[in-house]
Amino acid sequence: MWQIKEFTLLVTVFLFYPNIECCNNIEDYYWRDYSGIIPSDALPGGLDRSGRPMYIGQILHRNMLLTAKLYLNDNKGYYGATQKEFTGANNIKVLCTQHPDRFEWIETTADDIPKLADRHLIIGGHEPGYTMYIGRAYYKLETAVGKVSTGNPENHGLYVTHEGTESKLKSFEILAYMK
């Protein structure tokens, strides 16, 4: 009899308590699994060469979680690593929100990112030893989404990809959330 009461208590704690906590701490943005269809609540991040929205993704690459570009009607994510552009169709997430008006793109430079310490910058991924933020810049006829590195000062900047290569930009916009 005692085992049934303990089991009932455990079920109640594990099933209901996390849901209560979840509802009190809901963020206004979240990452959804991506399989080639852009969800209606996806946050646009830029524009492709044709002026169509580009979306913000994350993709798992080796031991890194990297920011990726997602295009309409394309099941792949495009991302940079080791100065090259890669594509992948697995382990992709897309940034989503019910409140796109609570986001802002802040013009900055690689050296000025520490001045944004009072802002809630959106984390786009991780490389060993580094947290990467989400940035964008006009590059090669598109407003391209990419990763912002703030670790080693030699590597500070926005990294965007185009036609197989990855380029570092010193001036760009960085994505922030306004509560």
User: Rounded to two decimals, what is the model's pTM?
Assistant: 0.83
Q: What is the mean pLDDT of residues 33-56?
A: 96
Tens-digit pLDDT profile for residues 73-130:
999 999 999 999 999 999 999 999 999 999 999 999 988 988 998 999 999 999 888 8
Quickly state the pLDDT bin for 28 (edges 50, 70, 90). confident
How far is the CA of 36 from the CAs of 24, 84, 96, in angstroms?
Answer: 31, 22, 14
Which pLDDT score, from 0 to 100, does residue 151 have? 76
Which pLDDT score, from 0 to 100, does residue 155 have? 85
What residue segments make up the domains of the chain, in order of their start?
Answer: 29-177
Which pLDDT score, from 0 to 100, does residue 128 have? 86
Average pLDDT over the chain reads 85
